[in-house]
A and B are shown apart, each in its own frame.
Chain A
Amino acid sequence: MAHPGMSPTFANAHEIAPGRYQAHITFSMAGDWVLLIHVNIPDRQPVYAQIDVKAVQPQ
């Protein structure tokens, strides 16, 4: 959640096909979210990425 102090959500991604990973995330509230992707690769530097998810609708 883009607002400070709100509870984050965590999920691990699993390989579903060579080079393709899938994770299921439950957005606990509506609004703007930020996905922070943290990739650990053996013997290499970790990779970080950020994806903005705008206007998640209320469930």
Chain B
Amino acid sequence: MTTSPNNPLTSSEDSGFDEAARFDLLTVPLVGRLLLWRHSRTLLQFPVLLLSLVMILHGLFGPSISPKNLATVLSWVYFRGALIVTLLCAGNFFCLVCPFMLVRNGMRRFVHPRVAWPRALRNKWVSMLLFILILFSYERFALWSSPWWTAWLIVAYFVAALAIDGVFKHATFCKYICPIGQFNFIAATVSPLEVRVRLTSVCTSCTTNDCIRGRRDPANDPVVVQRGCELALFQPAKAGNMDCTFCLDCVHACPHDNVGVLSRLPASELMVDPTRSGIGRFSRRKDIAALAVTFTFGALLNAFGMVSPTYVLENWLGRILHLNSDGPVLSMLFVIFLVVEPLVLLGIAAWISQRWAGVNSRVFPLMVRYAYALVPLGFGMWLAHYCFHFFTGLYTIIPVTQSALASIGTSLFGTPRWTWTGLPTPIVQPLEVGFLLLGLAGSLLVAYRLALEDSQDHPLRAFAPWAAVCLLLWAASVWLMQQPMEMRATFMNG
């Protein structure tokens, strides 16, 4: 297997755009000016924090019926939909407005942790397991149908962020713990915007490295007046969106005004394998590859949990294994879909690719390398799924808000219009197919670029097994989205 030179994404050829001709969000009137304001993040986080508090209160004390509660409607219809659409159209702006970090930043004014996160845990394994735990809990405890549990989940996020970042320094929670953050990091690899240096030549003459060290007080050097990247991403060597929360600390810290929010070819960072600041090479990060696999196969599993055939399969599994409770059967499905199936599919593809195309690599490293090619496909599935709920429930916020206001005695917005739901399913379904096709095209393109690098003599042979895996997963996705939806709070025996 051949590897790319260091950080090829900094060259215009590999990123797909001329360095000086890129679109830069920070140069857009009003938006750019707002984002360049030092307190812009706090300003944007504050309304989201207020919304989170409203969701917690309504979840705990509001109606117990999920479609009538702000906690569940905002979490499972709006938040997820807006998140994935923002990642598709722009970048990881949901981490930018993260309310947990606003509270955590407030705490850090008084608490200054000195403890470093244990070296053995400086990877994605813990956060990946937490991500799986969230997916599992979503199905097992029907979080979508429980405002009370949804509210406690939000509370748990706040507590975890404060506890972790209250003890450990830097952005430990974001980088190593937060499951939503990991989802955003992986998904943002296909986003069209990236926080990166405007001109690499400016960085070569920089001597202060404020983008990572933070800008110091000229009169008192140890005092940081503007922090640098807390996730250990050194801008000149940063490649792609992995681990970037779009916090814009580097933008504010750079004394040369040389960091922007620039356009790029979506998923281009998956086509190359440079040494990335704060990350290393993707091909050597088994944990991130496993996260990418979980992201992709988890997208199918999450959608599978809400269609009718699921219940048939679970009841059948329960019968043949003599199990009559949800937990063990659901656990088994998770192991099959998130461990066995990926290992088998990727293993077979890697083995064929190695043998048939003569790729000079062992099977497991090949599996790790090509796992990233599946990300666009997974993204397409998350997009199709979340947009289904987002668009078909687009107007539900209106009656739910009317109802919430009425419950506290405010009839300003009239009686709830429960007939207002969203776009008709026949309009949304073609969009879903389009999103899935977009994901397939992205994955095929990434796999082909990797195959071109791996086997110059037989690139099509190296590519074909991975294309087959992509087509198989895509067909499964299309089949899933055509199934009649069925949402039950319990899986087995009705």
Contact = CB atoms under 8 A, between A and B. Distances in A.
Given A4-B77, A5-B73, 4 more contacts: A2-B144, A4-B76, A5-B393, A29-B487
Given A1-B67, A4-B393, A32-B145, A10 B419 contact: yes
Contacts of B69: 4
A36 B72 CA distance: 18
B145 A5 contact: no
Given A32-B489, A55-B494, A6 B484 contact: no
A3 B490 contact: no
A58 B306 CA distance: 12
Interface string B14-45: 00000000000000000000000000000000
Contacts of B76: 3-5
Interface in B367-425: 389-390, 392-393, 396, 418-419, 421-422
A34 interface: yes
28 contacts: A1-B67, A2-B67, A2-B142, A2-B145, A3-B67, A3-B76, A3-B144, A3-B306, A4-B72, A4-B76, A4-B144, A4-B393, A5-B76, A5-B393, A5-B421, A5-B422, A6-B393, A8-B67, A8-B418, A8-B419, A29-B485, A29-B487, A30-B484, A31-B485, A31-B487, A32-B488, A36-B65, A55-B494
Interface string A1-45: 111111110100000000000000000011110101000000000
B63 to A, nearest CB: 10
Contacts of A55: 488, 490, 494
Nearest to A10: B419
B489 A7 contact: no
A28 to B, nearest CB: 9
B86 interface: no
In which size bucket is the chain A interface?
10 to 19
A15 B404 CA distance: 32
B308 interface: yes
Interface class of chain A by DSSP: loop
B341 interface: no
A3 B65 CA distance: 9
B315 to A, nearest CB: 11
Contacts of B145: 2-3, 32
Contacts of A8: 67, 418-419, 421
A7 B485 contact: no
Contact of A29 (B66, B419, B486): B486
Interface string B467-485: 0000000000000000011
B308 A7 contact: no
B487 A32 contact: yes
Given A8-B421, A10-B419, A55-B494, A3 B484 contact: no
B384 to A, nearest CB: 15
Given A3-B144, A5-B421, A58 B486 contact: yes
B393 A54 contact: no
A4 B388 CA distance: 12
Given A54-B494, A58-B484, A6 B421 contact: yes
Contacts of A29: 484-487
A2 B421 contact: no
A50 to B, nearest CB: 7
A16 B417 CA distance: 29
Contacts of B392: 5-7
A5 B396 contact: yes
B67 A6 contact: yes
Interface string B120-147: 0000000000000000000000101100
B65 A50 contact: yes
A7 B494 contact: no
Contacts of A31: 485-488
The 6 closest A-B pairs by CB, nearest first: A5-B393, A5-B77, A30-B486, A55-B494, A31-B487, A3-B487
A47 B485 CA distance: 32
B419 A2 contact: no
Contacts of B486: 29-31, 58
